[in-house]
């Protein structure tokens, strides 16, 4: 049976102690997607959404969310993140926007949750800014794409 790192010997939840780990460069890349109707996609693309520039607002929200991950996920360590980047790839053929976030730190624990949180909140921000046009938008495929650093080494998601 695997050892659960977030439980102590009495089965109580705890934050993992990373005090003895060596700081290393750790990078995580996460992705996700939001799909919508063509009219909503065009409003985002042409920057005619009444609430303003949707993708720039979502970029800021994603960065801010990554910095607050430990306040949202109970056992996450508060991290001194050295870099967060949120990028968007609009796809007119599918009326969707692919979201990718990269987080980086030199530290004792990984930044996967920060990248995943950035993608999630960026997608939610797009939804929030456009919901008056399209309540059927779908947020999907939020996942870790790649991570490096630390004891477990490198992970790269297999192509699906």
23-60 pLDDT, tens digit per residue, is: 999 999 999 999 999 999 999 999 999 999 999 999 99
Percent of the chain scoring above 90 in pLDDT:
81
113 is in an annotated binding site: yes
Active-site residue list: 128
pTM of structure: 0.92
6 is in an annotated binding site: no
Q: What is the CA radius of gyration of the chain?
A: 18
72-104 pLDDT, tens digit per residue, is: 998 899 999 999 999 999 999 999 999 999 999
Class of domain 33-149: alpha beta
77 is in an annotated binding site: yes
Q: pLDDT at position 69, please?
A: 98
Domain assignments of the chain as residue spans, ordered by start: 33-149
Q: How far apart are CA 29 and CA 148, in angstroms?
A: 9
Instruction: Work out the pLDDT band at 2, boundaries 50, 70, 90.
Output: low
């Amino acid at each position: 049976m695997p050892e659960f790192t977030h439980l102590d010997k009495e089965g109580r939840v705890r934050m993992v102690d990373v005090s003895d780990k060596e700081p290393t460069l750790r990078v995580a890349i996460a992705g996700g997607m939001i799909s919508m109707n063509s009219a909503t996609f065009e409003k985002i693309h042409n920057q005619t959404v009444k609430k303003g520039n949707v993708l720039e607002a979502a970029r800021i929200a994603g960065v801010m969310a990554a910095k607050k991950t430990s306040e949202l996920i109970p056992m996450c360590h508060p991290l001194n993140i050295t870099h967060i980047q949120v990028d968007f790839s609009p796809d007119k053929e599918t009326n969707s926007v692919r979201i990718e976030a990269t987080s980086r730190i030199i530290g004792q624990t990984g930044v996967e949750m920060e990248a995943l949180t950035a993608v999630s909140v960026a997608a939610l921000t797009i939804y929030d800014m456009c919901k008056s046009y399209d309540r059927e938008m779908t947020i999907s495929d939020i996942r870790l794409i790649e991570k490096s650093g630390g004891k477990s080494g490198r992970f790269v998601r297999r192509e699906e």
